[in-house]
Amino acid sequence: MNGNELNRPRVLFAILDWGMGHATRSAPLIAHALDQNWIVHVASKGTALAFLRTEFEGTNVIFHSKPGPEIKYARHGNLLKIALQIPAFLSSIRSEKRWSVAQVARHNISHIVSDNCYGVAHPSVPSALVSHQLQLPVPYPLRWLAKAFVIQQAKRFEAVWVPDTSDFALSGSLASANPLQHQTSIGVLSRLSLTEEAGPWNRVGMVSGPEPHRSLMEAALRQWIMADSSPGLLIAGRPSGQREQEGNLTVWPNPSRDELSSALSGATTIVCRSGYSSLLDLAALGKSAILVPTPGQPEQLQLARHWKKRWGMATMSQSELERGSLPATTGEILAHEPNVLACSVLQGFVTD
Protein backbone atom coordinates (compact mmCIF):
# COMPACT_ATOMS: atom_id res chain seq x y z
CA MET A 1 0.00 0.00 0.00
CA ASN A 2 1.53 3.37 -1.00
CA GLY A 3 1.62 6.57 1.05
CA ASN A 4 -1.25 8.21 -0.82
CA GLU A 5 -3.46 5.22 -0.07
CA LEU A 6 -2.65 5.45 3.64
CA ASN A 7 -3.47 9.17 3.73
CA ARG A 8 -6.89 8.86 2.06
CA PRO A 9 -9.81 9.18 4.50
CA ARG A 10 -11.52 5.87 5.22
CA VAL A 11 -15.15 6.67 5.97
CA LEU A 12 -17.65 4.15 7.30
CA PHE A 13 -21.31 4.96 6.62
CA ALA A 14 -23.69 2.95 8.82
CA ILE A 15 -27.34 3.02 7.75
CA LEU A 16 -30.41 1.99 9.74
CA ASP A 17 -32.32 -0.69 7.85
CA TRP A 18 -35.91 -0.09 8.97
CA GLY A 19 -37.14 0.32 5.40
CA MET A 20 -35.22 2.19 2.70
CA GLY A 21 -35.66 5.78 3.87
CA HIS A 22 -32.40 6.11 5.78
CA ALA A 23 -30.55 4.53 2.86
CA THR A 24 -32.01 6.91 0.26
CA ARG A 25 -31.26 10.01 2.30
CA SER A 26 -27.70 8.87 3.05
CA ALA A 27 -26.98 8.17 -0.63
CA PRO A 28 -25.96 11.80 -1.45
CA LEU A 29 -23.40 11.76 1.37
CA ILE A 30 -21.96 8.47 0.14
CA ALA A 31 -21.84 9.82 -3.42
CA HIS A 32 -19.98 12.92 -2.22
CA ALA A 33 -17.44 10.75 -0.41
CA LEU A 34 -16.83 8.80 -3.61
CA ASP A 35 -16.43 12.04 -5.58
CA GLN A 36 -13.71 13.05 -3.12
CA ASN A 37 -11.87 9.77 -3.79
CA TRP A 38 -12.18 8.71 -0.17
CA ILE A 39 -12.20 5.02 0.70
CA VAL A 40 -15.87 4.33 1.40
CA HIS A 41 -17.33 1.55 3.52
CA VAL A 42 -21.12 1.17 3.73
CA ALA A 43 -22.84 -0.99 6.34
CA SER A 44 -26.50 -1.90 6.62
CA LYS A 45 -28.69 -4.97 6.15
CA GLY A 46 -31.88 -6.19 4.51
CA THR A 47 -33.68 -4.06 1.95
CA ALA A 48 -31.60 -1.00 2.75
CA LEU A 49 -28.36 -2.81 1.96
CA ALA A 50 -29.87 -4.24 -1.24
CA PHE A 51 -30.84 -0.73 -2.35
CA LEU A 52 -27.39 0.67 -1.61
CA ARG A 53 -25.70 -2.15 -3.52
CA THR A 54 -27.86 -1.30 -6.53
CA GLU A 55 -27.42 2.46 -6.15
CA PHE A 56 -23.63 2.22 -6.03
CA GLU A 57 -23.11 -0.73 -8.34
CA GLY A 58 -19.88 -0.39 -10.29
CA THR A 59 -18.23 1.91 -7.73
CA ASN A 60 -15.47 1.15 -5.25
CA VAL A 61 -17.79 1.06 -2.23
CA ILE A 62 -16.94 -1.72 0.22
CA PHE A 63 -20.16 -3.17 1.60
CA HIS A 64 -20.73 -4.80 4.99
CA SER A 65 -23.68 -6.45 6.70
CA LYS A 66 -23.92 -5.03 10.19
CA PRO A 67 -25.74 -6.34 13.26
CA GLY A 68 -29.23 -5.09 13.98
CA PRO A 69 -32.60 -6.32 15.20
CA GLU A 70 -35.14 -7.87 12.85
CA ILE A 71 -37.95 -5.50 13.74
CA LYS A 72 -41.30 -7.09 12.95
CA TYR A 73 -44.59 -5.33 12.36
CA ALA A 74 -48.18 -6.45 12.62
CA ARG A 75 -51.22 -5.46 10.60
CA HIS A 76 -52.95 -4.47 13.86
CA GLY A 77 -51.56 -3.64 17.29
CA ASN A 78 -48.31 -2.47 15.77
CA LEU A 79 -47.32 -0.14 18.60
CA LEU A 80 -47.49 -2.92 21.20
CA LYS A 81 -45.55 -5.28 18.94
CA ILE A 82 -42.79 -2.70 18.54
CA ALA A 83 -42.70 -2.04 22.30
CA LEU A 84 -42.15 -5.73 22.99
CA GLN A 85 -39.07 -5.63 20.75
CA ILE A 86 -37.33 -2.82 22.66
CA PRO A 87 -35.05 -5.24 24.59
CA ALA A 88 -33.78 -6.64 21.28
CA PHE A 89 -33.21 -3.09 20.02
CA LEU A 90 -31.14 -2.19 23.10
CA SER A 91 -29.17 -5.40 22.74
CA SER A 92 -28.45 -4.54 19.12
CA ILE A 93 -26.83 -1.25 20.20
CA ARG A 94 -24.35 -3.22 22.29
CA SER A 95 -23.71 -5.52 19.32
CA GLU A 96 -23.11 -2.49 17.09
CA LYS A 97 -20.54 -1.15 19.54
CA ARG A 98 -18.54 -4.38 19.44
CA TRP A 99 -18.90 -4.58 15.66
CA SER A 100 -17.70 -0.97 15.24
CA VAL A 101 -14.54 -1.58 17.29
CA ALA A 102 -13.74 -4.60 15.11
CA GLN A 103 -14.36 -2.73 11.84
CA VAL A 104 -12.23 0.25 12.83
CA ALA A 105 -9.34 -2.06 13.70
CA ARG A 106 -9.72 -4.28 10.64
CA HIS A 107 -10.13 -1.54 8.02
CA ASN A 108 -8.31 1.37 9.66
CA ILE A 109 -11.49 3.49 9.56
CA SER A 110 -10.74 7.20 10.03
CA HIS A 111 -14.30 8.62 10.26
CA ILE A 112 -17.79 7.28 10.94
CA VAL A 113 -21.13 8.67 9.73
CA SER A 114 -24.04 6.85 11.34
CA ASP A 115 -27.60 7.33 10.14
CA ASN A 116 -29.61 6.48 13.28
CA CYS A 117 -27.36 3.56 14.27
CA TYR A 118 -26.68 4.52 17.88
CA GLY A 119 -24.05 1.87 18.46
CA VAL A 120 -21.90 2.59 15.41
CA ALA A 121 -19.36 4.99 16.90
CA HIS A 122 -15.83 4.68 18.24
CA PRO A 123 -14.11 6.54 21.10
CA SER A 124 -10.95 7.11 19.04
CA VAL A 125 -12.54 7.92 15.67
CA PRO A 126 -14.52 11.11 14.81
CA SER A 127 -18.13 9.96 14.58
CA ALA A 128 -21.25 11.84 13.44
CA LEU A 129 -24.88 10.84 14.03
CA VAL A 130 -27.44 11.74 11.35
CA SER A 131 -30.89 12.02 12.92
CA HIS A 132 -34.00 14.17 12.83
CA GLN A 133 -35.52 12.28 15.73
CA LEU A 134 -34.00 13.93 18.79
CA GLN A 135 -37.25 13.47 20.72
CA LEU A 136 -38.68 9.99 20.30
CA PRO A 137 -42.48 10.05 19.74
CA VAL A 138 -43.59 8.18 22.86
CA PRO A 139 -46.59 8.71 25.17
CA TYR A 140 -46.29 11.81 27.35
CA PRO A 141 -45.35 10.04 30.64
CA LEU A 142 -42.33 8.48 28.89
CA ARG A 143 -41.04 11.57 27.12
CA TRP A 144 -38.51 12.50 29.80
CA LEU A 145 -37.08 8.97 29.63
CA ALA A 146 -36.94 9.06 25.81
CA LYS A 147 -35.24 12.47 25.90
CA ALA A 148 -32.63 11.21 28.36
CA PHE A 149 -32.06 8.11 26.20
CA VAL A 150 -31.32 10.17 23.06
CA ILE A 151 -29.04 12.54 24.98
CA GLN A 152 -27.09 9.59 26.38
CA GLN A 153 -26.73 7.93 22.97
CA ALA A 154 -25.74 11.20 21.29
CA LYS A 155 -22.85 11.67 23.73
CA ARG A 156 -21.06 8.89 21.89
CA PHE A 157 -20.80 11.11 18.78
CA GLU A 158 -18.65 14.14 18.13
CA ALA A 159 -21.40 15.74 16.03
CA VAL A 160 -25.15 15.34 15.46
CA TRP A 161 -26.39 16.31 12.00
CA VAL A 162 -30.09 17.12 11.66
CA PRO A 163 -31.34 16.93 8.05
CA ASP A 164 -33.62 19.94 8.37
CA THR A 165 -33.66 23.71 8.16
CA SER A 166 -32.31 25.67 11.13
CA ASP A 167 -35.85 26.37 12.42
CA PHE A 168 -36.89 22.68 12.26
CA ALA A 169 -39.58 23.54 9.70
CA LEU A 170 -39.66 20.01 8.27
CA SER A 171 -39.30 17.78 11.34
CA GLY A 172 -41.17 19.96 13.83
CA SER A 173 -41.08 18.88 17.45
CA LEU A 174 -39.26 15.64 16.62
CA ALA A 175 -36.09 17.74 16.61
CA SER A 176 -37.07 21.01 18.30
CA ALA A 177 -38.30 19.36 21.52
CA ASN A 178 -34.81 18.09 22.41
CA PRO A 179 -32.07 20.23 20.85
CA LEU A 180 -28.51 19.09 21.55
CA GLN A 181 -25.46 21.25 22.15
CA HIS A 182 -23.40 19.56 19.44
CA GLN A 183 -26.06 19.42 16.74
CA THR A 184 -25.88 21.07 13.32
CA SER A 185 -28.72 21.56 10.84
CA ILE A 186 -27.56 20.34 7.43
CA GLY A 187 -30.58 21.27 5.32
CA VAL A 188 -32.60 19.00 3.06
CA LEU A 189 -30.96 15.66 2.36
CA SER A 190 -32.39 13.91 -0.70
CA ARG A 191 -31.16 12.02 -3.74
CA LEU A 192 -33.80 13.86 -5.82
CA SER A 193 -33.50 17.28 -7.43
CA LEU A 194 -35.59 19.62 -9.58
CA THR A 195 -35.74 18.70 -13.24
CA GLU A 196 -37.38 20.19 -16.33
CA GLU A 197 -38.13 16.70 -17.65
CA ALA A 198 -41.61 15.81 -16.42
CA GLY A 199 -42.82 12.23 -16.58
CA PRO A 200 -46.07 11.32 -18.37
CA TRP A 201 -47.90 9.95 -15.30
CA ASN A 202 -50.74 11.93 -13.74
CA ARG A 203 -50.74 9.84 -10.59
CA VAL A 204 -47.74 8.40 -8.75
CA GLY A 205 -47.93 6.12 -5.75
CA MET A 206 -44.77 5.49 -3.73
CA VAL A 207 -44.70 2.33 -1.64
CA SER A 208 -42.45 2.17 1.40
CA GLY A 209 -42.25 0.81 4.91
CA PRO A 210 -41.77 -2.62 6.48
CA GLU A 211 -43.88 -5.68 5.84
CA PRO A 212 -46.74 -6.40 5.99
CA HIS A 213 -47.62 -2.75 5.42
CA ARG A 214 -45.45 -2.36 2.34
CA SER A 215 -47.42 -5.07 0.51
CA LEU A 216 -50.77 -3.76 1.77
CA MET A 217 -49.95 -0.29 0.49
CA GLU A 218 -48.79 -1.63 -2.86
CA ALA A 219 -52.03 -3.56 -3.37
CA ALA A 220 -54.14 -0.52 -2.47
CA LEU A 221 -52.20 1.80 -4.80
CA ARG A 222 -52.49 -0.68 -7.67
CA GLN A 223 -56.27 -0.61 -7.29
CA TRP A 224 -56.31 3.19 -7.09
CA ILE A 225 -54.31 3.62 -10.28
CA MET A 226 -56.16 0.95 -12.28
CA ALA A 227 -59.58 2.30 -11.25
CA ASP A 228 -58.97 5.25 -13.57
CA SER A 229 -57.92 5.32 -17.23
CA SER A 230 -55.26 8.01 -16.79
CA PRO A 231 -51.62 6.84 -16.75
CA GLY A 232 -50.28 5.99 -13.31
CA LEU A 233 -46.91 4.95 -11.93
CA LEU A 234 -46.30 2.74 -8.92
CA ILE A 235 -42.90 2.96 -7.19
CA ALA A 236 -42.90 -0.44 -5.49
CA GLY A 237 -39.85 -0.14 -3.25
CA ARG A 238 -38.50 -3.59 -4.17
CA PRO A 239 -34.83 -3.31 -5.23
CA SER A 240 -34.78 -6.83 -6.71
CA GLY A 241 -38.13 -6.61 -8.52
CA GLN A 242 -38.92 -6.37 -12.24
CA ARG A 243 -40.60 -3.57 -14.16
CA GLU A 244 -44.19 -4.20 -15.19
CA GLN A 245 -46.80 -2.72 -17.51
CA GLU A 246 -50.49 -3.57 -17.07
CA GLY A 247 -52.94 -1.36 -18.92
CA ASN A 248 -52.55 2.20 -17.64
CA LEU A 249 -50.37 1.00 -14.72
CA THR A 250 -46.58 1.16 -14.88
CA VAL A 251 -44.61 -0.44 -12.04
CA TRP A 252 -41.03 0.48 -11.27
CA PRO A 253 -39.53 -1.54 -8.42
CA ASN A 254 -36.49 0.68 -7.89
CA PRO A 255 -36.11 3.66 -10.26
CA SER A 256 -32.96 5.73 -10.58
CA ARG A 257 -32.83 9.14 -8.95
CA ASP A 258 -33.30 10.88 -12.33
CA GLU A 259 -36.29 8.70 -13.22
CA LEU A 260 -37.94 9.31 -9.85
CA SER A 261 -37.29 13.07 -9.96
CA SER A 262 -38.87 13.25 -13.41
CA ALA A 263 -41.87 11.11 -12.46
CA LEU A 264 -42.69 13.11 -9.34
CA SER A 265 -42.11 16.44 -11.09
CA GLY A 266 -44.78 15.65 -13.69
CA ALA A 267 -47.37 14.12 -11.35
CA THR A 268 -50.53 15.96 -10.41
CA THR A 269 -51.29 13.57 -7.53
CA ILE A 270 -48.69 11.82 -5.36
CA VAL A 271 -49.47 9.33 -2.60
CA CYS A 272 -46.69 8.36 -0.21
CA ARG A 273 -45.83 7.59 3.39
CA SER A 274 -45.16 10.41 5.81
CA GLY A 275 -41.77 8.91 6.62
CA TYR A 276 -39.19 11.64 6.96
CA SER A 277 -37.09 10.61 3.96
CA SER A 278 -40.16 10.74 1.71
CA LEU A 279 -40.95 14.20 3.08
CA LEU A 280 -37.38 15.33 2.37
CA ASP A 281 -37.87 14.19 -1.24
CA LEU A 282 -41.06 16.26 -1.48
CA ALA A 283 -39.24 19.27 -0.02
CA ALA A 284 -36.41 18.89 -2.55
CA LEU A 285 -38.91 19.00 -5.42
CA GLY A 286 -41.45 21.41 -3.93
CA LYS A 287 -44.28 18.88 -4.41
CA SER A 288 -47.41 18.27 -2.38
CA ALA A 289 -48.74 14.79 -1.68
CA ILE A 290 -51.38 12.75 0.08
CA LEU A 291 -49.61 11.43 3.17
CA VAL A 292 -50.34 7.94 4.53
CA PRO A 293 -48.63 7.21 7.88
CA THR A 294 -47.51 3.63 8.44
CA PRO A 295 -49.86 2.09 11.05
CA GLY A 296 -48.31 1.88 14.49
CA GLN A 297 -45.53 4.38 13.74
CA PRO A 298 -46.30 7.49 15.83
CA GLU A 299 -43.39 9.39 14.22
CA GLN A 300 -45.10 9.25 10.83
CA LEU A 301 -48.46 10.23 12.31
CA GLN A 302 -46.81 13.19 14.06
CA LEU A 303 -45.06 14.27 10.85
CA ALA A 304 -48.28 13.98 8.82
CA ARG A 305 -50.07 16.22 11.30
CA HIS A 306 -47.20 18.71 11.27
CA TRP A 307 -47.12 18.92 7.45
CA LYS A 308 -50.91 19.22 7.31
CA LYS A 309 -50.84 22.10 9.78
CA ARG A 310 -47.84 23.90 8.28
CA TRP A 311 -48.39 23.35 4.54
CA GLY A 312 -51.95 22.06 4.28
CA MET A 313 -50.98 18.58 3.03
CA ALA A 314 -53.79 16.04 2.70
CA THR A 315 -53.52 13.03 5.01
CA MET A 316 -55.32 9.71 5.28
CA SER A 317 -55.04 6.40 7.10
CA GLN A 318 -53.92 3.18 5.47
CA SER A 319 -57.38 1.65 6.01
CA GLU A 320 -58.89 4.59 4.09
CA LEU A 321 -56.35 3.99 1.32
CA GLU A 322 -57.31 0.32 1.18
CA ARG A 323 -60.97 1.32 0.83
CA GLY A 324 -60.04 3.62 -2.05
CA SER A 325 -61.39 6.79 -0.41
CA LEU A 326 -58.60 9.20 -1.32
CA PRO A 327 -58.92 12.95 -0.61
CA ALA A 328 -57.96 15.62 -3.10
CA THR A 329 -54.31 16.68 -3.12
CA THR A 330 -53.85 19.88 -1.14
CA GLY A 331 -51.03 21.99 0.21
CA GLU A 332 -47.95 23.63 -1.23
CA ILE A 333 -44.31 23.67 -0.15
CA LEU A 334 -41.50 25.63 -1.77
CA ALA A 335 -38.61 23.63 -3.21
CA HIS A 336 -35.45 23.42 -1.08
CA GLU A 337 -32.07 22.91 -2.72
CA PRO A 338 -30.85 19.58 -1.36
CA ASN A 339 -27.45 18.30 -0.20
CA VAL A 340 -25.27 21.40 -0.70
CA LEU A 341 -24.99 22.24 3.00
CA ALA A 342 -24.91 18.57 4.04
CA CYS A 343 -21.99 17.75 1.73
CA SER A 344 -20.15 20.85 2.91
CA VAL A 345 -20.56 19.74 6.53
CA LEU A 346 -19.35 16.24 5.65
CA GLN A 347 -16.37 17.71 3.81
CA GLY A 348 -15.35 19.79 6.80
CA PHE A 349 -15.87 16.91 9.21
CA VAL A 350 -13.53 14.60 7.30
CA THR A 351 -10.84 17.02 6.10
CA ASP A 352 -10.49 19.62 8.88
* Half-sphere exposure of residue 137: CA atoms within 13 angstroms, side-chain side: 19
Overall residue count recorded for the chain in this entry: 352
User: Is 18 in contact with 51 (CB distance < 8 Å)?
Assistant: no
pLDDT digit string (tens) for 281-318? 999 999 999 999 998 889 999 999 999 999 999 999 99
Tell which residue, 339, 276, 33, has the closest CA to residue 131: 276
**Sequence-distant (≥ 6) Cβ neighbours of residue 127 within 8 angstroms:** 111, 112, 113, 114, 120, 121, 156, 157, 158, 159
pLDDT digit string (tens) for 218-235? 999 999 999 989 999 999
Q: What is the CATH number of domain 203-323?
A: 3.40.50.2000
CA 125/CA 159 separation, integer angstroms: 12
Domain with CATH 3.40.50.2000 in the chain: 3-188+338-351, 203-323
Q: From residue 347, how far is each of 133, 137, 194, 344 by CA, in Å?
A: 23, 32, 24, 5
φ, ψ dihedrals at 205, nearest 5°: -110, 130
Q: What is the mean pLDDT of residues 311-335?
A: 95
Tell which residue, 324, 326, 282, has the closest CA to residue 303: 282
CA 114, 118, 120, 121 torsion-angle sign: positive
Query: Given pLDDT bands bounded at 50, 70 and 90, which one contains residue 83?
Result: low
Number of H helices, E strands in the chain: 13, 14
Q: What is the mean pLDDT of residues 235-254?
A: 91
Tell which residue, 287, 275, 279, 257, has the closest CA to residue 27: 257
Q: Which CATH number fits domain 3-188+338-351: 3.40.50.300, 3.30.465.10, 3.40.50.2000, 2.60.40.1220?
A: 3.40.50.2000
